[in-house]
Amino acid sequence: MDSKLTLNFDKGVINKAKDFAAENNISLSRLTEFLYRKITTGSYENLEALPISDWVHQVAEGGAEYKKRSRKASKDEFYASKK
């Protein structure tokens, strides 16, 4: 059963990922699911232990930036962007 998930990424990364997914005849959702499945079926102790393929580097740009925000802050940001 599929579930909906909302994620926030840099626009440039999203555009590259969409292009990559389209070139490989897969939806961005299924590409993301594929990557999460690969991560969760392995036994990795931390982010540095994840094996990153060359094609993942093609869609990624720069280092990952992790932001901790409250749910309310995310919601407020979303609604502000729709104005």
C-alpha torsion sign, points 39, 43, 47, 51: negative
> Would you say residue 15 has pLDDT above 80?
yes
> Would you say residue 27 has pLDDT above 60?
yes
Domain ranges of the chain: 8-59
The interaxial angle of helices 11-23 and 28-41, nearest 10 deg, is 100
Count of beta carbons in the 10 Å neighbourhood of residue 4: 5
Q: How confident is the model at residue 56 (pLDDT cuts 50, 70, 90)?
A: low
Taking the C-alpha atoms of residue 64 and residue 8, their distance in angstroms, rounded to an integer, is 12
pTM of the predicted structure, to 2 decimals = 0.53
Distances (CA, A) of 63 to 3, 30, 58, 60, 66: 28, 23, 13, 8, 10
pLDDT of residue 55: 53
pLDDT in tens, 45-55: 777 777 666 55
